[in-house]
A and B are shown apart, each in its own frame.
Chain A
Amino acid sequence: DTGVSQDPRHKITKRGQNVTFRCDPISEHNRLYWYRQTLGQGPEFLTYFQNEAQLEKSRLLSDRFSAERPKGSFSTLEIQRTEQGDSAMYLCASSLEAGSSYEQYFGPGTRLTVT
């Protein structure tokens, strides 16, 4: 068990460019979540997957954002036509919902800076 990993850890991009982030959850976890954290705020929920199915999306997730989890393993979050307001830390978490286990375990995050 190596924990949740995210790649890249930092991304600097110019406004209007597309970016893609990857998250690898803890291997046996069936749920995967994406959150966004801006400076001075707590994380805010974006979307989550159960296995490969995307079951819920926040209204924060505009149509420029898309997330996938092919084969129920790793997930990608793509932002198209980035805007300066997209600058934030993007956090991935995973959980195994079984019995008394429901905690979400977080990755180190990808810090996006849009210039």
Chain B
Amino acid sequence: AQTVTQSQPEMSVQEAETVTLSCTYDTSESDYYLFWYKQPPSRQMILVIRQEAYKQQNATENRFSVNFQKAAKSFSLKISDSQLGDAAMYFCAYRSAKSGGSNYKLTFGKGTLLTVNP
């Protein structure tokens, strides 16, 4: 079974600064998808960024980028020019690329609570 570990329960960053959230995962599969989701307080979870394991190039979405290290099974999220609206719980998630059965489910880490200080 796959597991996802987020070792930082809480992080804080000054507005306009850069912060990196860590995520490691364990899998025996070679093809899979990785995601970062953002869950603001009392609001719904939204997808921040995704990465396909077969792609060597790290994904970027505006101020958000990832550092995907497949051999190390590491998938960190970098937020540049942090804004007050970035304050939220961030979840790292894994999904198998195989078809069928439970392969479509997302496996989440426990999350990292990000505080942005003005």
Contacts and interface: CB of A to CB of B under 8 A. Distances in A.
B91 A108 contact: no
Interface string A23-45: 00000000101010000111111
A12 B110 CA distance: 25
B110 A45 contact: no
Nearest to A41: B110
A45 B43 contact: no
A42 B25 CA distance: 14
Nearest to A46: B105
Interface of B: 4, 33, 35, 37, 43-47, 50, 91, 93, 95, 100-102, 104-111
Interface of A: 4, 31, 33, 35, 40-45, 48, 55-56, 58, 91, 93, 95, 97, 102-109
9 contacts: A4-B44, A31-B104, A33-B104, A43-B106, A45-B102, A45-B106, A55-B101, A104-B106, A106-B46
